[in-house]
Amino acid sequence: MSQMIHRRNVIVRTEHGLHLSPCSRVAQAALKFRSQVWLTKGSVRADAKSVLDLMTLAAGPGAELTLEVTGDDAPEAVEAILHLFEYDLVSASS
């Protein structure tokens, strides 16, 4: 049985892009869910539960990423990661 892929676009709104600290926050949020969580920039796909994987995205300020989530708690994971990119990472970088 194939699972539905929940896909949304997110914008990196932090002043310095996805450096170590925001990558760590994204990974910590993703690890709270059983679902698989991926972020993609161009042809680079990263496991959002891995800080090192996220760093390979080299996502600077304003970069558009594609969030893809599959699993039983995918809708909740999508909302949590979207909220992180929209509000939490922005306020943490100010």
Instruction: Give the residue numbers annotated as catalytic, written as ranges.
Output: 19
Q: What is the 3-state secondary structure (H, E, C) of 45-94?
A: EEECCCHHHHHCCCCCCCCEEEEEEECCCHHHHHHHHHHHHHHHHHHHHC
Euclidean distance between CA atoms 5 and 19, whole angstroms? 27
